[in-house]
Amino acid sequence: MAGRVIVYGGKGALGSSLVAFFKAKSWWVASVDIFPNEEADANVVLTPTDSWTDQEKELESKVESIVTGFKLDAVLCVAGGWAGGNAASKAFVKNSDMMWKQSVWSSVLASQLSARHLTEGGLLCMTGAKAALEGTPGMIGYGMAKAAVHQLVKSVAADNSGMPKDSTTVAILPVTLDTPMNRKFMSTADFSQWTPLDTVSQKLFEWTTDKKSRPANGSLVQVVTKDGVTSFVPTE
C-alpha cells in the first residue's frame, strides 16, 4: 500500500470523497465517524451521545487496535456541520452546543490522535471556515466553533505542542462545498461558485504526498471557488 491515512468524519460528504480518493490511489484508509464507511479499510465508530472524555477513550482504544505496528502519514479531520441562529434565536444555545461538539470536539480528538500516531513529517489537516475569519451574526454558534478550530490549528502548529517532528498542521477554510445536502437546500444557487469535493480531495492528497506543496505549518487556507475555478489561498 502507498500510505496510511485516517479520515475523521469519513462518512460525511467530504469525508466519503476523501476515503474514495485515497483508496483509488492504493492507500490504507480508516474512517472515524458515528457511522461506518463501507469503502474504508477500517472503521472507528463513535457514540455521539457519549461525553467528550468517553469519546476520547473509545477513539484511542479502537485506533490502537487498528494501527498497531505502524504510523499514519496523515490525519484529515473533516467532521462538522452547520446551524444558523443569532443570539435572540430560541435554538441559540442548542445550536451552539451542537456546533461545538461537531467541530471542536472532533478537531481536538484528531489533534490528540495525530500527536500519538502521526509519523514524523506527517500532515494534520482540520476544517475551519472562511466566514469565521469575521463575525457571523446569523450563525453565531457555527462561527464560534470554527474560530476555535482556527486557534487550535495555530496552537498545535506551534513549538512544544506535542506533535511529531517536522509535522505540518493546517486548516482548510471553505466557503460552500458542493455537497448533495447543500444542493438540496439551496437548489437555486449558482453552483459554479461552490467548491467540488474532488477538488478538495485532490489538494489534500497532494499535501499528504508532496511535502513541498504544503502551506506553511499553522496556515489557515481559504478555499474559494469563482466561476468554476478553485483557489487555495493562505490567510495572511
Please report, as a single letter, which amino acid is at residue 183.
R
Cell of 54: 468517553
CB of 4 closer than 8 Å to CB of 28 = yes
| Cα 118 to chain centroid, rounded | 16
Which of 21, 28, 142, 205 is the catalytic position?
A: 142
Nearest in space to 63 (alpha carbons), one of 78, 43, 40: 43
CB of 224 closer than 8 Å to CB of 130 = yes
What burial class does residue 177 get, using C-beta atoms within 10 Å of its C-beta: 0-12 exposed, 13-18 middle, 19+ buried? buried
Residue with cell 465508530: 45
8 counts as catalytic: no
Nearest in space to 180 (alpha carbons), one of 196, 159, 192: 196
Beta bridge partners of 170: 125
Phi/psi of residue 51, each to 5°?
Answer: -70, 165
Active site residues: 142
